[in-house]
Amino acid sequence: MKRVISLLFIAALAVLLLYVVASMPPMGDPKNPTATHVIPRYLERAEEETHTENVITGIILNYRGYDTMGEVTVIFCALAAVLAVLGRERRGKIFGFVDRSEVPSSTIVKTMVRFIVPFIILFSVYTIMHGETSPGGGFQGGAIIGGSMIIFTTIFGLYESSRRVPLRLRAALEGSAVMGFFLVGVLGLVGGGNFLTYAWPRVAGNLQPSLVVWLTVLVEIGIGLGGAMVLVSILFAMIREEEEIAPAA
């Protein structure tokens, strides 16, 4: 019965939405409202105003930096929420269900993973730092680090990976994304502009482009590091088991 009601509702919604699609501006048309109103200014002047070649990075860190600050707050909030539900480990050894697996990973797998993970992390550092000039950016790099830690944890177990990324490190760096934004924001206030203006420091009264780039990179690193630590912490919280729980079959 519930299925039927839901199907009817969804069918009505689908008809409504497809009707909307038929009335929308044509896709790919350069004369769309989306392509003509605000975009030309971004595309033409982004390089001079934000000193990044990747226009998207310029938008998310500079023009619409406040949204990105909200985004890093969302990910931090997700961490706080997951920890509120699952609890943080006490200082000491932690175990996860992967540690109890009766089928240990083979030597081939372990060697390969041990070999590859450093390169993955190197790639993610590249993604973070080079986000100005190529597709990439802070959070993308952080997510790659998170992914590499998932691989590592799956193969080697939670005990090993928690030794590599200990609680102290994670707890210290989780907030770095929000802190980075706050720092830049306050610097903007100090420099006489509004919050989050890349207005400081000024040298001889002028805003040096290289310093603006440095500030942008600082924020990117903060986002990358903070995002990575948050993802790793969430991973550990979800996999972790109290030692009293009997090993599941």
Partner 1 sequence: MRLLHNYHYAAAMILFCLGLHTVIVRRNIIKKLIGLNIMETSVFFFYISLGYLKEGIAPIRVGGAEPARMVNPIPQALILTGIVVAVSVTALALSMVILLYRQYGTLDVDRLMREEEKGEAVGGGEV
Partner 2 sequence: MGAWRHFPILMIAIPLLGAVLLPFLGYVRENWVPYAAALPLGASSLLGLLLIGRIPSDGYLSYHMGGWEPPFGIEIRVDYAGFFVMLVVCGITMLSLLYSRRYISREVSPGRRTAYYVLFLLMSAAMIGFVATGDIFNLFVFMEILALSSYALVAITGNRNAVRAAFKYLLMGAPSSIMVLLAIGLLYSATGTLNMADLSARIAESGYTEVLTVSYILFVIGFGVKAALFPLHMWLPDAHSIAPSPISALLSGLLVEVCTFALLRITFSVFTREATALVGGTAEAVGVAAAAAVLYGGIMAILQKDLKMMIAYSTISHIGYIFLGLTAFTAEGLTGAMYHMLDHGLAKACLFLCAGNFIYVKGYRRIEDLRGAWREMPWTCFAFAVASISVIAIPPTAGFISKWYLILGNVKAGKWLYTAVLLTGSILAAVYCLRVIYYMFFQAGGEGKWEDAVRDAPPSMLVPVWLLSLGTLFFGVFSYLLIPSLLKASAYLL
3-state secondary structure (DSSP) of residue 156? helix
Q: Does 33 bind partner 2 (CB under 8 A)?
A: yes
Q: Are 211 and 203 in contact (CB under 8 A)?
A: yes
Six-digit token pair at 115?
A: 């070999």
CA-based nearest residue to 237, from 176, 179, 174: 174
Give the residue with the Cβ less far from partner 2, 157 or 180: 180
Q: Say which entry of partner 2, partner 1, none residue 66 contacts (CB below 5 to 8 A, set by partner kind).
A: partner 2
Q: Does 30 bind partner 1 (CB under 8 A)?
A: yes
Give the residue with the Cβ less far from partner 1, 45 or 202: 45
Q: Does 190 bind partner 2 (CB under 8 A)?
A: no
Q: Does 17 bind partner 1 (CB under 8 A)?
A: yes
Select the span of 47-55, 167-175, 194-202, 207-215 touching partner 1 (CB under 8 A).
Answer: 47-55
Least distance from C-beta 149 to partner 2, angstroms?
Answer: 20
Give the residue with the Cβ less far from partner 2, 85 or 249: 85
Residue 152 C-beta-side C-alpha neighbours within 13 Å: 25
Distance in angstroms (rounded) separating the CA atoms of residues 135 and 56: 8
State which of positions 106-165 bind partner 1 (CB under 8 A): 133-135, 137, 139
Residue of the chain from 120, 179, 211, 218 that contacts partner 2 (CB under 8 A)? 179
Return the ∠ at Cα 122 (arms to 177 and 148), rounded to 5°.
75
Q: Does 130 bind partner 2 (CB under 8 A)?
A: no
Give the residue with the Cβ less far from partner 2, 38 or 116: 38
For the packed helices 176-190 and 65-86, what is the interaxial angle rounded to 10 degrees? 150
For the packed helices 138-156 and 107-129, what is the interaxial angle rounded to 10 degrees? 170
